[in-house]
Amino acid sequence: MFRILFFTPEIPGNTGNAIRLAAVTGAELHLVEPLGFDFGDSKLRRAGLDYHDLAVVTVHKTLADAWEALAPERVFAFTSDGEELYTDIEYRAGDVLMFGPESVGLPAEVKADPRVTARVRLPMLEARRSLNLANSASIALFEAWRQHGFAGAVAKRPGARPAP
């Protein structure tokens, strides 16, 4: 339903967690090279647990290749200097949620790409630089999925208490 795009991710554990996120939500995960790791990395495998075979993960040589494969209608670039709050977006199926590398975030030329619909931010306390990449993707994806009634998810877990 939704697509997560990591532009040149550097830390294997974050991508492993994103693989797990994609598997449990039905999102696609797209990665743009260069990657700061290889898929044999033990930290990537450990963070993704046994979800690697349950996730749709695609690696693209370049951002142009990713755009061609995704043919996105809307792209939301998540960045600490975004103009819109992530909760103010009305997400649609097929939207691309894009995040930059852990050390520097999305480069200016990527944020200015004409395919970017909006630059979006997650609220943080003043003087804080950034959130963890996998956590940021999780927050954004779950908001988008929530807006769609958690389509495809298990409705209730056995023994769950009713909402107040």
Segments making up each domain of the chain, as ranges: 3-147
Please give the pLDDT value at position 157: 62
Q: pLDDT of 83-123, one tens digit each?
A: 999 999 999 999 999 999 999 999 999 999 999 999 999 99
Residue 28: both structure tokens together: 């696609």
Contact 44, 17 (CB under 8 A): no
**Residues 29-34, mean pLDDT to the nearest whole number:** 97
| pLDDT at residue number 43 | 60
- Asked if residue 31 has pLDDT above 70, the reply is yes
Q: What is the predicted pLDDT for the residue at 155? A: 65
| Mean pLDDT, residues 46-61 taken together | 78
DSSP bridge pairs for 96: 3, 75
Instruction: State the SS3 of 91-147.
Output: CCCCCEEEECCCCCCCCHHHHCCCCCCEEEECCCCCCCCCCCHHHHHHHHHHHHHHH
Q: What does the block give as tokens for 87? A: 């909760």
- Whether the per-residue pLDDT at 163 is higher than 60: the answer is no
In this predicted structure, what is the pLDDT of residue 44?
60
- Which position has the higher pLDDT, 137 or 41? 137
> How does residue 128 score in pLDDT terms, banded at 50, 70 and 90?
confident
Among residues of the chain, what percentage have pLDDT more than 90? 74
Fold category of 3-147 in CATH: Alpha/beta knot (3.40.1280)
Q: For residues 4 and 101, what is the distance between their CA atoms, to the nearest angstrom?
A: 13
Given a cut of 80, whether residue 49 has pLDDT beyond it is: no
Burial of 80 (0-12, 13-18, 19+ CB in 10 A): middle
Q: What is the pLDDT of residues 129-152, one digit of tens each?
A: 889 999 999 999 999 999 999 999
Q: What is the pLDDT of residue 54?
A: 84
Residues making up the binding site:
100, 122, 130
Residue 127 has a pLDDT of: 86
Sign of CA dihedral 125, 126, 127, 132: positive
| Closest to 91 (Cα-Cα) out of 135, 31, 27 | 27
Binding residues for S-adenosyl-L-methionine: 100, 122, 130
- State residue 78's pLDDT score: 98
